[in-house]
Amino acid sequence: MSKEHSGREQDEMQFADQVAEYLDRGVRMGDFHKIVLFAEHKFLGLLRERLSSAAKQAVVFEAPKNLTKLDESDIKRYFT
């Protein structure tokens, strides 16, 4: 990398790598046929950059929305 990144940015990039690898493997193994992505705007961009073309094709919806602060019942209401 040509520019310096903070420790937090490094952690975010590493986590994006891990999530992308998980999704890529799931698509490749036939575990996932459709993917819906919700993530904070910046992280969603990092993740998009790292997804394989097959995983990108499996993405049917994405939204720059951080749901991490919601509890399970709020998340269920969000989707119903």
43/27 Cα distance (integer angstroms): 20
- The type of residue at 56 is K
Decide if 2 is inside a domain: no
Tell me if 46 is assigned to some domain: yes
At 5-25, the pLDDT tens digits run 789 899 999 999 999 999 999
Query: Is residue 1 assigned to a domain?
Result: no
The total domain count for the chain is 1
The pLDDT tens digits of the residues spanning 21-62 come to 999 999 999 999 999 999 999 999 999 999 999 999 999 999
36 found inside a domain: yes
- Tell me the residue range of the domain where 26 lies: 7-79
Interior/surface letters 45-70, b for 16+ CB within 10 angstroms, e for the rest: ebbbebbeeebeebbeeeeeeeeeee
Residue 51 lies in a domain: yes
Assigned domain for 39 exists:
yes
Predicted TM-score of the model (pTM): 0.83
**Residue 24 domain flag:** yes
